[in-house]
Amino acid sequence: MKRIKAIYPGSFDPPTNGHLDLIERGSQIFDELVVAILRNPEKSPLFSLADRRKMLEAMTAGFDNVSVDTFDGLTVDYALKVEARAILRGIRAISDYEYELQMALMNRKLQPGLETVFMMPAEKYSYLSSRLVREVAQLGGSVECLVPEIVVQKLREKIDVAHKFEKSGKLAGKPSSGGKSKSKRSKNNRDKR
Ligand code: ADP
Protein backbone atom coordinates (compact mmCIF):
# COMPACT_ATOMS: atom_id res chain seq x y z
CA MET A 1 0.00 0.00 0.00
CA LYS A 2 1.20 3.53 -0.82
CA ARG A 3 2.15 5.67 2.12
CA ILE A 4 0.68 9.15 1.97
CA LYS A 5 2.80 12.06 3.03
CA ALA A 6 1.27 15.51 3.44
CA ILE A 7 2.59 18.95 4.22
CA TYR A 8 0.80 21.49 6.41
CA PRO A 9 2.18 24.85 5.28
CA GLY A 10 1.59 28.16 7.04
CA SER A 11 3.07 31.13 8.86
CA PHE A 12 2.40 29.83 12.40
CA ASP A 13 3.18 33.28 13.89
CA PRO A 14 2.60 32.01 16.53
CA PRO A 15 1.22 28.45 16.38
CA THR A 16 -2.14 28.17 18.18
CA ASN A 17 -4.37 25.45 19.61
CA GLY A 18 -6.27 25.63 16.30
CA HIS A 19 -3.12 24.67 14.39
CA LEU A 20 -2.48 21.89 16.89
CA ASP A 21 -6.03 20.59 16.48
CA LEU A 22 -5.47 20.39 12.74
CA ILE A 23 -2.07 18.72 13.13
CA GLU A 24 -3.66 16.06 15.33
CA ARG A 25 -6.44 15.42 12.81
CA GLY A 26 -3.92 15.35 9.94
CA SER A 27 -1.65 12.94 11.76
CA GLN A 28 -4.57 10.52 12.04
CA ILE A 29 -5.34 10.35 8.32
CA PHE A 30 -1.89 10.76 6.74
CA ASP A 31 1.00 8.36 7.21
CA GLU A 32 3.39 11.28 7.51
CA LEU A 33 2.76 14.96 8.11
CA VAL A 34 5.33 17.74 7.74
CA VAL A 35 4.44 21.04 9.37
CA ALA A 36 6.15 23.46 6.98
CA ILE A 37 6.81 27.02 8.13
CA LEU A 38 6.90 29.46 5.25
CA ARG A 39 9.68 32.01 5.22
CA ASN A 40 7.84 34.94 3.69
CA PRO A 41 10.08 37.93 2.96
CA GLU A 42 7.03 40.18 2.48
CA LYS A 43 5.77 39.72 6.03
CA SER A 44 7.57 40.93 9.14
CA PRO A 45 6.65 38.24 11.66
CA LEU A 46 6.52 38.64 15.43
CA PHE A 47 8.53 35.43 15.91
CA SER A 48 11.68 34.42 14.06
CA LEU A 49 11.62 31.27 11.98
CA ALA A 50 13.82 29.56 14.59
CA ASP A 51 11.40 30.45 17.41
CA ARG A 52 8.39 29.22 15.47
CA ARG A 53 10.21 26.01 14.68
CA LYS A 54 11.10 25.49 18.34
CA MET A 55 7.51 26.04 19.46
CA LEU A 56 6.10 23.69 16.82
CA GLU A 57 8.69 21.01 17.58
CA ALA A 58 7.74 21.13 21.26
CA MET A 59 4.02 21.06 20.44
CA THR A 60 4.33 18.06 18.11
CA ALA A 61 6.87 16.02 20.08
CA GLY A 62 4.16 13.52 21.03
CA PHE A 63 3.26 12.63 17.42
CA ASP A 64 5.45 9.92 15.87
CA ASN A 65 4.52 10.75 12.28
CA VAL A 66 4.76 14.55 12.47
CA SER A 67 7.90 16.59 11.73
CA VAL A 68 8.62 20.30 11.39
CA ASP A 69 10.50 22.02 8.57
CA THR A 70 10.89 25.47 7.00
CA PHE A 71 10.72 26.45 3.36
CA ASP A 72 10.60 29.37 0.99
CA GLY A 73 9.34 29.74 -2.54
CA LEU A 74 6.33 27.95 -3.94
CA THR A 75 4.48 25.51 -1.70
CA VAL A 76 4.06 23.10 -4.62
CA ASP A 77 7.82 23.06 -5.25
CA TYR A 78 8.46 22.28 -1.60
CA ALA A 79 5.80 19.54 -1.64
CA LEU A 80 7.48 17.99 -4.67
CA LYS A 81 10.90 18.21 -3.05
CA VAL A 82 9.78 16.27 0.02
CA GLU A 83 7.65 13.88 -2.07
CA ALA A 84 4.38 14.86 -0.46
CA ARG A 85 1.12 14.03 -2.24
CA ALA A 86 -1.18 16.35 -0.34
CA ILE A 87 -1.32 19.83 1.15
CA LEU A 88 -3.31 20.13 4.36
CA ARG A 89 -5.10 23.43 5.03
CA GLY A 90 -7.62 24.51 7.60
CA ILE A 91 -11.00 26.10 7.00
CA ARG A 92 -12.47 27.90 9.98
CA ALA A 93 -15.30 29.88 8.48
CA ILE A 94 -16.73 30.96 5.16
CA SER A 95 -14.30 33.88 5.26
CA ASP A 96 -11.37 31.44 4.82
CA TYR A 97 -13.06 29.65 1.96
CA GLU A 98 -12.57 32.08 -0.91
CA TYR A 99 -8.85 32.60 -0.34
CA GLU A 100 -8.18 28.92 0.34
CA LEU A 101 -10.12 27.86 -2.77
CA GLN A 102 -8.18 30.29 -4.95
CA MET A 103 -4.91 29.04 -3.58
CA ALA A 104 -5.87 25.37 -3.91
CA LEU A 105 -6.92 25.86 -7.53
CA MET A 106 -3.74 27.77 -8.34
CA ASN A 107 -1.65 25.04 -6.74
CA ARG A 108 -3.55 22.42 -8.76
CA LYS A 109 -2.77 24.37 -11.93
CA LEU A 110 0.91 24.48 -11.01
CA GLN A 111 1.06 20.85 -9.92
CA PRO A 112 -1.96 18.75 -10.97
CA GLY A 113 -0.84 15.64 -9.09
CA LEU A 114 -0.94 17.34 -5.73
CA GLU A 115 -4.21 17.40 -3.77
CA THR A 116 -5.23 20.03 -1.24
CA VAL A 117 -7.13 18.55 1.68
CA PHE A 118 -9.19 20.86 3.88
CA MET A 119 -10.01 20.04 7.45
CA MET A 120 -12.13 21.86 10.01
CA PRO A 121 -10.93 22.35 13.56
CA ALA A 122 -13.07 21.70 16.62
CA GLU A 123 -15.77 24.36 16.84
CA LYS A 124 -14.12 26.02 19.83
CA TYR A 125 -11.11 26.92 17.65
CA SER A 126 -13.08 28.21 14.69
CA TYR A 127 -12.60 31.87 15.72
CA LEU A 128 -8.93 31.48 16.59
CA SER A 129 -6.16 32.99 14.49
CA SER A 130 -2.50 33.86 15.03
CA ARG A 131 -3.32 37.51 14.37
CA LEU A 132 -5.90 37.58 17.17
CA VAL A 133 -3.49 35.88 19.55
CA ARG A 134 -0.78 38.45 18.76
CA GLU A 135 -3.17 41.34 19.27
CA VAL A 136 -4.68 40.05 22.52
CA ALA A 137 -1.21 39.27 23.95
CA GLN A 138 0.24 42.63 22.93
CA LEU A 139 -2.66 44.45 24.59
CA GLY A 140 -2.16 42.51 27.83
CA GLY A 141 -5.02 39.99 27.51
CA SER A 142 -4.78 36.36 28.55
CA VAL A 143 -4.06 33.87 25.77
CA GLU A 144 -3.72 30.82 27.98
CA CYS A 145 -6.68 28.94 26.53
CA LEU A 146 -5.73 29.83 22.97
CA VAL A 147 -2.16 28.58 22.63
CA PRO A 148 0.02 25.85 24.20
CA GLU A 149 2.06 26.71 27.30
CA ILE A 150 5.34 27.07 25.37
CA VAL A 151 3.74 29.74 23.19
CA VAL A 152 2.35 31.57 26.25
CA GLN A 153 5.92 31.71 27.62
CA LYS A 154 7.45 32.91 24.33
CA LEU A 155 4.77 35.59 23.96
CA ARG A 156 5.47 36.80 27.51
CA GLU A 157 9.21 37.01 26.78
CA LYS A 158 8.55 38.99 23.57
CA ILE A 159 6.19 41.42 25.24
CA ASP A 160 8.48 41.94 28.25
CA VAL A 161 11.36 42.78 25.93
CA ALA A 162 9.15 45.20 23.98
CA HIS A 163 8.04 46.92 27.23
CA LYS A 164 11.64 47.20 28.47
CA PHE A 165 12.68 48.66 25.13
CA GLU A 166 9.85 51.19 25.26
CA LYS A 167 10.65 52.14 28.88
CA SER A 168 14.35 52.64 28.19
CA GLY A 169 13.42 54.90 25.28
CA LYS A 170 11.27 57.01 27.64
CA LEU A 171 14.02 57.19 30.26
CA ALA A 172 16.52 58.33 27.67
CA GLY A 173 14.11 61.15 26.84
CA LYS A 174 13.28 59.73 23.45
CA PRO A 175 9.70 60.16 22.32
CA SER A 176 7.83 56.93 23.02
CA SER A 177 6.54 55.18 19.95
CA GLY A 178 3.79 53.62 22.11
CA GLY A 179 0.93 56.02 21.38
CA LYS A 180 1.88 56.38 17.79
CA SER A 181 2.18 52.69 17.02
CA LYS A 182 -1.04 51.98 18.91
CA SER A 183 -3.10 54.30 16.79
CA LYS A 184 -1.38 53.05 13.68
CA ARG A 185 -2.13 49.47 14.74
CA SER A 186 -5.78 50.16 15.42
CA LYS A 187 -6.07 51.83 12.04
CA ASN A 188 -4.49 48.79 10.41
CA ASN A 189 -6.92 46.55 12.23
CA ARG A 190 -9.85 48.58 11.06
CA ASP A 191 -8.53 48.35 7.54
CA LYS A 192 -8.28 44.57 7.81
CA ARG A 193 -11.85 44.09 9.01
P1 ADP B 1 -1.12 31.41 6.46
O2 ADP B 1 -0.37 32.71 6.49
O3 ADP B 1 -0.62 30.44 5.43
O4 ADP B 1 -2.62 31.54 6.42
P5 ADP B 1 -1.49 30.49 9.16
O6 ADP B 1 -0.48 30.03 10.14
O7 ADP B 1 -2.33 31.66 9.54
O8 ADP B 1 -0.70 30.72 7.84
O9 ADP B 1 -2.47 29.29 8.81
C10 ADP B 1 -1.98 28.08 8.29
C11 ADP B 1 -3.17 27.18 8.00
O12 ADP B 1 -3.80 26.85 9.22
C13 ADP B 1 -4.27 27.83 7.13
O14 ADP B 1 -4.84 26.85 6.30
C15 ADP B 1 -5.27 28.30 8.13
O16 ADP B 1 -6.58 28.35 7.57
C17 ADP B 1 -5.15 27.20 9.18
N18 ADP B 1 -5.57 27.66 10.49
C19 ADP B 1 -5.14 28.74 11.17
N20 ADP B 1 -5.78 28.86 12.35
C21 ADP B 1 -6.62 27.81 12.42
C22 ADP B 1 -7.60 27.37 13.37
N23 ADP B 1 -7.87 28.04 14.47
N24 ADP B 1 -8.26 26.24 13.09
C25 ADP B 1 -8.04 25.57 11.95
N26 ADP B 1 -7.18 25.94 11.00
C27 ADP B 1 -6.48 27.05 11.23
Q: Is 163 one of the catalytic residues?
A: no
| CA 148 to mean position of chain CA atoms | 13
- Residues 6 or more apart whose CB falls under 8 angstroms from that of 56 comprise 12, 15, 35, 37, 68
180 has a pLDDT exceeding 70: no
Q: Ligand 1 center to residue 26 CA distance, Å?
A: 13
Q: Ligand 1 center to residue 139 CA distance, Å?
A: 22
Q: Ligand 1 center to residue 90 CA distance, Å?
A: 6
Q: How much of the chain exceeds pLDDT 90, in percent?
A: 75
Q: What is the pTM of this model?
A: 0.86
The answer to whether the CB of 66 falls within 8 A of the CB of 27 is: yes
Predicted confidence at residue 187, as pLDDT, reads 40
Ligand 1 pocket member 90 (CB < 6 A): yes
Q: How much of the chain exceeds pLDDT 70, in percent?
A: 83
At the second CATH level, the architecture of 5-125 is: 3-Layer(aba) Sandwich (3.40)
- Residues 6 or more apart whose CB falls under 8 angstroms from that of 48 comprise none
Q: Is 129 one of the catalytic residues?
A: no
Predicted confidence at residue 42, as pLDDT, reads 81
Strands across the sheet containing 66-71: 66-71, 32-38, 5-10, 86-90, 115-119
The residue annotated as part of the active site, out of 52, 53, 89, 92, is 92
pLDDT for 78-111, tens place per residue? 999 999 999 999 999 888 999 999 999 999 999 9
Q: What are the structural domain ranges in the chain? A: 5-125, 130-175
Q: Is 43 one of the catalytic residues?
A: yes
176 has a pLDDT exceeding 50: no
